[in-house]
């Protein structure tokens, strides 16, 4: 990517992409509706009120929209000066998770906080800070972008995160971090060579196999994926129940709020498997509509990245899609 850092008036950075803003609000509303539907029975049986998780999600949604609007009014180039500090703080928080300060939920130790409500995952903060720090470093050193040495620091930033996440046994976050960091590196204009590609593929295989072997349940999940009907009441329960939910939705679905799988048949229906509930209630048409909204969101994001007037902004926008 051959871009130069240029001076831009702050007013140029304060306009909001209307198309992206609208699709975000639409997806947010759909999400709230589906959380209300998918979590109603679970919330009622756990907390005595069917709207418990909906109200909680609505509060976070309002806070998120306000934060989005406020942050959009700030010149993003200011973040470049704070990116490395933010990365350092996020890394410290990530390390604290593997100390006695870490909180275990459903057998996974990935949280910090107090009690059952004031919790957060440092990995979520790192997802952003890793991108900002990598983008900032490459933008600052864009004149050396043709040299492979320039990518040593971004690789180290990623390796530190992957190492801590491995100790947390947090494979899903690791996949996201690697994809995020590499997307920024590729978008910067790296000149790929065959030996680098082969080395990268080998590294990914080693890291992936290490994560799988480190936890026996992951080996079971891989084997279950290869033969999904082999253990319908055990390791394959979640996958089969999600397939039952989606397949029973048909073309137009059972109707909003009419899911059967959400009645504790589908584990974590309001979280990991909420799309299955959406497919069951809104059918193929509803599921495809949501996917197309995300496709439009990605399109608008890449359009912003392409038209951005400086390298730092382009790299950050590229990752966030």
Rounded to whole angstroms, the Cα distance separating 61 from 279 reads: 23
The stretch 91-100 carries a mean pLDDT of: 94
pLDDT band with cut points at 50, 70 and 90 for residue 308: confident
Instruction: Quick: pLDDT tens for 191-225.
Output: 777 777 787 788 888 877 887 777 777 777 777 77
For Cα atoms 87, 211, 128, give the angle at the middle one, nearest 5 degrees: 20
120: phi then psi, degrees, rounded to nearest 5:
-155, 155
The stretch 113-138 carries a mean pLDDT of: 89
Name the 3-class secondary structure at 147.
Answer: coil
Are 132 and 316 a contacting pair, CB within 8 Å? yes
Instruction: Quick: pLDDT tens for 32-49.
Output: 999 999 999 999 988 999
Is the pLDDT at 14 greater than 60? The verdict is no
Of 24-28, 43-47, 233-237, which has the strongest mean pLDDT?
A: 24-28
pLDDT of residue 33: 96
The stretch 62-68 carries a mean pLDDT of: 94
Higher-confidence position of 31 and 230: 31
Q: Is the whole model's pTM more than 0.75, yes or no?
A: yes
Rounded to whole angstroms, the Cα distance separating 68 from 107 reads: 33
- Average per-residue pLDDT for the chain: 86
Higher-confidence position of 66 and 145: 66
Report the range of poorest mean pLDDT among 89-93, 143-147, 174-178. 143-147
pLDDT of residue 198: 82
Counts of helices then strands in the chain (DSSP H, E): 11, 3
- Domain residue spans in the chain? 76-214
Report the range of poorest mean pLDDT among 52-66, 113-127, 173-187. 113-127
Instruction: Quick: pLDDT tens for 253-293.
Output: 999 999 999 998 888 888 888 999 999 999 999 999 999 99
Torsion over CA: 137, 65, 96, 319 (sign): negative
Q: What is the 3-state secondary structure (H, E, C) of 156-204?
A: HHHHHHHHHHHHHCCHHHHHHHHHHHHHHHHHCCCCCCHHHHHHHHHHH
Question: Cβ neighbours of residue 36 under 8 Å, at least 6 residues apart?
Answer: 51, 54
Rounded to whole angstroms, the Cα distance separating 313 from 307 reads: 10
């Amino acid at each position: 990517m051959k871009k130069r850092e240029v001076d831009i008036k702050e007013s140029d950075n304060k306009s909001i992409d209307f198309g992206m803003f609208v699709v975000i609000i639409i997806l947010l509303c759909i999400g709230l509706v589906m959380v209300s539907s998918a979590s109603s029975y679970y919330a009622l049986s756990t907390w005595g009120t069917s709207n418990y998780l909906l109200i909680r999600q609505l509060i976070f949604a309002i806070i998120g929209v306000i934060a989005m609007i406020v942050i959009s009014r700030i010149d993003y180039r200011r973040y470049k000066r704070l990116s490395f500090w933010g990365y350092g703080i996020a890394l410290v928080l990530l390390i604290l998770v593997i100390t006695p300060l870490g909180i275990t939920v459903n057998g996974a130790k990935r949280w910090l906080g107090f009690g059952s409500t004031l919790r957060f995952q440092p990995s979520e903060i790192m997802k952003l800070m890793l991108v900002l720090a990598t983008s900032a470093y490459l933008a600052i050193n864009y004149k050396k972008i043709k040299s492979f040495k320039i990518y040593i620091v971004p690789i180290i930033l990623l390796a530190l995160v992957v190492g801590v996440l491995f100790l947390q046994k947090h494979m899903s976050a690791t996949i996201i971090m690697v994809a995020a960091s590499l997307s920024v590196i590729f978008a910067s204009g790296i000149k790929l060579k065959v030996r680098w590609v082969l080395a990268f593929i080998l590294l990914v295989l080693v890291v992936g196999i290490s994560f799988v072997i480190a936890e026996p349940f992951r080996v079971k999940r891989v084997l279950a994926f290869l033969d999904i009907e082999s253990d319908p009441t055990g390791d394959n329960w979640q996958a089969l129940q999600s397939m039952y939910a989606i397949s029973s939705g048909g073309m137009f679905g059972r109707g909003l709020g009419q899911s059967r799988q959400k009645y504790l048949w589908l584990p974590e229906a309001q979280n990991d498997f909420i799309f299955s509930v959406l497919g069951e209630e809104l059918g193929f048409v509803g599921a495809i509509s949501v996917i197309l909204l995300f496709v439009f969101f990605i399109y608008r994001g890449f359009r912003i990245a392409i038209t951005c007037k400086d390298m730092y902004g382009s790299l950050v926008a590229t990752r966030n899609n």
